[in-house]
Structures are given as C-alpha cells and as structure tokens.
Amino acid sequence: MYLTVNRLRAVIILFFLSSLSLFAQVDSTKIAIARKVYTTNTFTGDAPKIDGNLSDGAWASVPWSTDYLQFEPDVGTPPTQQTKMKITYDAKNLYVAFHCLESDKSKLEKRLGRRDDFPGDWVEINIDSYNDDRTGFSFTASASGVKGDEFISNNGNFDSSWNPIWYLATSEDEEGWTAEMRIPLSQLRFSADDEQVWGIQSTRRYFANEERSTWQPLPANPPGWVSEFGELRGIKGIKPQKQLEIQPFVLGQYDTFEEEVGNPFRDGDDFSGNVGLDAKIGITNDLTLDLTVNPDFGQVDADPGAIALDGFEIFFQERRPFFVENKSVFDFRVGGGSDNVFFPRRIGRTPQGFTTSDPSKGEYEDFPINTTILGAAKFSGKTKNGWTIGVLESVTAKEFAEIKLDDREEITTQLELSDELGTKREELVEPLTNYFVGRVQKDFNDRNSFIGAIFTNTTRNMERSLDFLHTQAYSGGIDFNHNWKDRKYYITGRGIISRVNGDPQAILNTQTSLTHLYQRVDADHVSVDPNATSLSGTGGNLAIGRGSGKWRYELGGNWRSPGLELNDIGFLRRADRIVQFASVRRFWNNSTSWYRRANVGVEQTTQYDFQGNFNRIQYEGRAEINWKNNWFTEVGGAHKPRIFINSFLRGGPRWRFNEENFYFVAAGTDQRKKLSAVAIYVNSQAKQNNFSFNQYELRLNYQPLDALSLSLSTVYEKNPNRTQYVSQQAYEPAQYNTRYITGAINQETLSATLRVNYNINPNFTIQYYAQPFIAKGTYTNFNYVADSENEDLNKRVTLFNQNQISTVDGGYAVDEDEDGSVDYAFGDPDFNFVQFRSNLVARWEYKPGSELFLVWSQGIEGGASTEDSLFDAADSQILGQQIRNTFLVKWTYRFAL
C-alpha cells in the first residue's frame, strides 16, 4: 500500500481537527486552589548557627507556616504527620528551617546515601527566585543529613547535576526531626528589585506511609510544577550576588594490563598525571560563565554493555559533569526518542580516523581512546525579562596515533624496513575541531508561552588524510510552546534545518550511511550524487494536547527529511521518516481500599517515508497500579500489523517483517523495605515465527544498614530471528545484481549490574559498580531475499540447499547455480562477545564543593568461542584473563570568592 505525502498531510490535518472537538467535550472542570503566601523578614543580632537546633534568636523574628496537605496518595487530604517551615534572610544568605513532626519516632527512617540520593525521610524547598513560573532551585534535606539539590527547568524537569554550595544540619527532638539550611544568595538568581516576590514550594516525604505532602496545595496531575508554587514575600534590600568559584584539580593515574611480548605500548603498566581547572563566573546575577581547561572525567561510570545487530549507533547517556549541568538549556529534540540537535558526547569522542600500521611488518599502534578537550566554556542563565540564554564553545585537539616497531631486537633486525619507514611515527586520526552551540528562549503571554531558537556549528581544521570528515556542519532551528486555560491545554512545535559541507568523499559517505541510504535500490525520491560537496535537510515536530487533569491526551507528528544530518554535534539514528501519533491516558489519583493510584492509556502510531511508503502502524496499551500495600504492577501490550524497514538490507530494497504482537508484565514489592524486588517479563512474537523476543529481568535491592545498600539487576534475553541480515554480495542473475543474505540467528544476552553504596557519613561515600555482559549469536539456515515485501515469509526468502552452500575457512561459499564454481562468499557471522566493567570510588566532600576521589577501575572485553555457553564465555574471558586496572587519585578544591 502506498500513500502520497500530500495525502498523508491531509490525513494528519483531519486528525488534528477532529481531535480539537474531542478536547472541547472532555471534562474541563477547574478546581480553584488559593495561592499561599509566606511573608518573611530579616533578623537582628547573630545569624542562625547551622546545627539543626532551632533555638537561635534569629528564628524568633519569623513565624512558622504549616498546614501541609497530601499530594500523594490522597491529594488534598491532611497528612499523617504535619510539617512546619520558617524562612529568614540577611544580606548574603537565605535561611530555611523545617520542623517535621513525628509522633512515633520508631517510624523515622534515617537512611544514608550519597548526594542527590534522597534516602529515607526528607523535606525540601523549591525556590522560583526568577518568579517566572518555569525555573527554580531545589534544596533537599534527608533526616540523616544527606543533601540533595536540583535545578528545575521547563516547569518540572529536575536536573540533579547542579551542585551549588550550601549548608545543612539536621537533628531530632521530642516532637520529630528538624532541618536547618543556609543558602548563599550567590547560588540563586534574582532581579535587582528592592522588594522581591519569589515562588516557593515545600515537599515532605513521610517514609512510613510513602506519602508526599506539600506546603502549597496542588490538584491531582497539575499542568506543571513551578507554575503552581505559592509565594514568598517580604525580602527587601538584598543585592544580586555575582558568583565567582574556581576549582583546580590534580590527578594521578596508574594503569596495569597484560603484557604483550614485543608490543612497546603493552609493557604491563603505565603512569600518568594531569592538572586542570574548572571555574564558575557570574557575569551578571542572571548569567553565569562556566569554564573548563583540560578537564578530566576519570571518575565517571563506564557505559553499560550493549550490542546492536541493526548497524545503528547505540545511544549512551552523557555523564560528564561539565556537560550534564544545566543541559536542559541546550536540549532540542527532533521527533521522539534520542534524536537531538545537541549531543555533548560528540565533544571528546573517540578519534574517527585510522592508521596505516601494518602488523605483518611488526608495527604496533597506540590509538587514543578519546579526543583531548583543550577547553570549553558555557555561558548560560535566565534574565528577569524572561530570556533563557545558553552558549557553549569547545575546542578539541589534534589527535595522533603513535606507531612503533616490535621492540624485540631479533624481530626488528629481520624486518629489513626502509629508511623512510623508520622505527616510529605519528599519524593524524582527528583534526583540531571547534564546537559551538547557541540557544535562546523568550517567555511571553504572562509566562504561558515561549518561543526559542538554536544554532550549532562544527568546524574542523581539515587535513587531506581526514577528508572523509565534514569540514563544517551547521544546524538551526526554532521552537515554541503555548499553554492556555490555566496551562491545561498546550500546543508545541519545533523545526530544524541542517547543512554539512566537505570533500565529495565525505558527502558521499554521509549519503550512503545507514542513517540516510541514498543508494537504496528501490528509492525514487533520493539518489547518490558522488560530486556533491554539501547536504541539507529539515526536521521537526508538532503536537497538541491536554497536560493536566484526570484525562491527558496528545495528537501530533514529526519528520526528518532524507538529507537531515546532525551527527557532527547531535544525534540522529535515521532520517527519511514521517511519524503521526495519538495517545490518551486516564488517571485515578486518590486511594481506595485496594489501591493507592492507577492509570491506563492507549497510543496509536503510523510511520511513512518521504517517498510516501506506508511503513508501520502500531496500537499500544499500558496500565499501571500502585496497590494499597505499596506493591505495584504494570502491564502493557502492542499490536503491529504492518512493519516495513527501509534500512534492514543496508541499501537494499524495503524489507517487510511479519505482523507482531508484544506484551510485558512488571511487578514489584514495596521499595521502602530493607529487601525489595522487581520482576519484569517481556514477550514479542511475530507470525510464521519470523522472530520472537523474550526478556527476563530481576532487580533486587537490600539495605541491611542505614549506611549500606546493595542492588543487583540481572537481565537475560533470548531473541531468535529466522531472517537476520548477514551480508550482501554481487551476483548478476539476482534482482539489482545483488544477493541480500539473511540467516536464522539464535541470539542470547546475559548481563548483571551490581551496585554497593556505603556511607561513612553524608559527605564520605564508597561506591562499587560492576557489570559483566555476554552476548552470543549463532547462525543457521542461511537464505537469500527473493521478494523483500512479500507478506508470506516463505516467499520473502529462499533457503540455500545443502548443495548450494558450504563452509570454508572463516566463512561460507555459495554455488547458487550449482555449476561447480563459487558464485560468492561471506564471512562467518557467529559471535560470542564478553565485556566486564567495574568501578570502586571513594568520594570525600571535605568541604562544600571540594572533593577527594580515590578510584579503582577494571575492564576487559573480548570474543569467546562460539561453542562456549554464556557462562563458559564469562569464565574464560573474565575470570581467565588478566583484567586492566586503573588506579586514580583526584583532588579538587573549590574557591568561592
């Protein structure tokens, strides 16, 4: 079935118009909730001593505010235990006190965790010092004294990477427990007005009942978070504080690894050191400049194990502190999933070049793992006039791989190399590169709407040996969001254009990459231009819906044109897509005699390409329930009657998979208990047994002590497929003169993730992370594609008979016409991949913002025999090999000036 793009657009527009009438008819009841006001004033005499004791005279100058109400599980009802709050200030600091009442002290949970873990009982204050109803600063205190701090953006996105300097102490008294905070005004952003009006909210977690209560009452499913805050009044005469913080670091690193005889780069150990600097400079009270010179990210967790047979790049989250902090300012997603105009992991990536080293001549190479970041600067913040600004600039160095001869004298003598080759050399594998991102948004319409823009640029100082890379890459886009009827309804949209320039070889590589596939043999709307020196494209999305209340729904679409290219500084898996989606969800927020809360939803999705091909339709449902005993259950399923994939045959014709049905079940015990568990089962099955997928996951959490927690997550997956892509080979009698070869794969994956956290105190933590990962795939019943779009699997592919295919050294030979001569051959696709990563980190925050890290990391990866089972592969490759060890000491000191 084929649809023209114009017809598709008409269908989407009709869908929009019909849904608007539905929106108007569904319950629009508005629950009026009065906005609370807390009026503070400054104190005379000494400032409060931050020790958790609230008897200081300064606290007598302001009243308690109380009457918190439940937000979960029974919205609007009195909490089990009440909370009281006080706020005062002086010229440099904001002081906040909490008295969390507890009639039964045995129920008070004082679990420890590292910063931002939010363990046990806690209380927090959120401050919208911009008073813009969209952004805020969150400060959380656990009963055990653990700090949590988050930057709030977009009316409800919490970013825990923000780590301000502030002070906290907690203690117990006869009526419950107390928390006392001192928040320097330099850590907040506010106007220069003589009298301030800030938004505030306070939330308490009452652990014993898994209950949330808030100072400012909220409706169920509010349209946002910051927009629903109460007000803080009475702050007068304070001046904006310009932040100035400098944080140098010193690092020492020692590596041990298996010695490789003759390899000059693998002599068994290596020592290195490093120094660098981070700085945070307040240009104005609203805007901050973050700088990093020669940054180190050695204490960051390793990426989890993963393997992808579809050929696409695997997306991994950014974990480096400089790029994670305030990342929401630069976020600009295109469509759904992970596609984004800015993906900071491109900065400092593994070099993209290669060397001419020749192992047959006794040459070894030392290839850098990452590109060196010489420096980076990030200018970001929000002004009192509603302008959100973000500018990021980074420069990465030229990166060279070093090549040396075998260092065994007798081998070197026998090589008889030319004088020009020499005994060592360096080859360029990544050019000097500049990355730039500029982002701006402007609030208007009483903060119910915003419009924004983004611009990115990547420029490489290109040399001829790297002409397969783009010399420049640009992207620019605009976005908007509009809310109405007290933010109950919204419409949001984004549009992006991109352009990449480079040598014809670079643009040819882009056109023929898996992301674009301009060479696809049955595509009429794209074609390869081998002489092109640029490529351009567009992308975007548009959605309208209801974002609050018992009913929520959304209708929208997104697109990525064939020429859209973002991967120089962004992330894009596949171009040439048009997607339409619609969803509706119903919430039950107040508890009953058998559940605390529940919701159920359905979603419909269709997908096309720019040729007008109707590639996919999917119907999905999902339900979640939190039971009265705080256990939970989630169930869901999907029906996919139509599945076509343009990229499956890697430039070959459009491929059809059989109709698929999918479902999952997840259940978990009360996560507050000392021992808790979550079990997940996923099943997917296609007709004619085309493919299936079974996943079994078990997560265990154990907290034997307040200071010690352990978690173990194990996942086993079995994914057989009768038509897994293997290879394509030239064969003149075949359609398109190419044979597209698939095979039946039996794929298994096993992984386990162990985390151990031990807290000596809230500022001194020891953490251990370990993950073994094993993936095995064995192929049988090789076949070739006969009719890639046929609904019947038996007509879609044709099996090779035993006379047509035979094993040869390292692969298979095919005599398709059975004339006694080999027509083509392909390699053995079987694999058994093993990886192990671990990280032991001791972190001591010896003063706010200053830290000492002791790190021990281990890692190994390799291929086991495909005859081995998953456990035998783990035994031979992890336990039977010498593991790489990295020992690292890092010291930082934050100067707050």
Residue 207 belongs to domain with CATH number: 2.60.40.1190
Residue 199 lies in a domain: yes
3-class SS of residue 226: helix
Domain boundary among 236, 258, 284: 236
Determine the pLDDT at residue 764.
Answer: 94
Smallest Cα–Cα separation from 387: which of 313, 475, 481, 451? 451
* CB contact at 8 A, 846 and 892: no
Please indicate, yes or no, whether residues 758 and 889 belong to a single structural domain of this protein: yes
Range of the domain at 754: 295-310+668-897
Please indicate, yes or no, whether residues 152 and 219 belong to a single structural domain of this protein: yes
Please indicate, yes or no, whether residues 300 and 181 belong to a single structural domain of this protein: no
Structure tokens at 59: 């606290």
- To the nearest 10°, report the CA torsion of 202, 208, 211, 217: -40
Determine the pLDDT at residue 732.
Answer: 93
Residue 786 lies in a domain: yes
Residue 90 lies in a domain: yes
CA distance 434 to 428: 17
Determine the pLDDT at residue 266.
Answer: 85
Please indicate, yes or no, whether residues 844 and 769 belong to a single structural domain of this protein: yes
Domain boundary among 197, 215, 236: 236
Please indicate, yes or no, whether residues 177 and 300 belong to a single structural domain of this protein: no
Please indicate, yes or no, whether residues 129 and 47 belong to a single structural domain of this protein: yes
Please indicate, yes or no, whether residues 305 and 219 belong to a single structural domain of this protein: no
Residue 647 lies in a domain: no
Please indicate, yes or no, whether residues 203 and 306 belong to a single structural domain of this protein: no
Please indicate, yes or no, whether residues 186 and 303 belong to a single structural domain of this protein: no
How many other β-carbons are positioned within 10 Å of the β-carbon of residue 557?
24
Distance of CA 478 to the CA centre of its chain: 23
Please indicate, yes or no, whether residues 878 and 776 belong to a single structural domain of this protein: yes
* CB contact at 8 A, 246 and 165: no
Burial class (CB in 10 A: 0-12, 13-18, 19+), 810: exposed
pTM of the model: 0.88
Residue 840 lies in a domain: yes
Residue 211 lies in a domain: yes
User: 819: which residues sit within 8 A by CB, 6+ positions away?
Assistant: none
Residue 383 lies in a domain: no
Please indicate, yes or no, whether residues 732 and 833 belong to a single structural domain of this protein: yes
* CB contact at 8 A, 118 and 203: no
How many domains, in total, are found in the chain? Answer: 2
Q: What is the Cα gyration radius of the chain?
A: 30
Determine the pLDDT at residue 302.
Answer: 63
Please indicate, yes or no, whether residues 786 and 713 belong to a single structural domain of this protein: yes
Q: One-letter amino acid identity for 544?
A: I
Q: One-letter amino acid identity for 545?
A: G
Domain boundary among 220, 236, 252: 236
Does residue 295 have a cis bond before it (omega within 30 degrees)? no
Q: One-letter amino acid identity for 684?
A: S
**Spans of the chain below 70 pLDDT:** 1-31, 297-303, 305, 307, 407-422
Residue 41 lies in a domain: yes
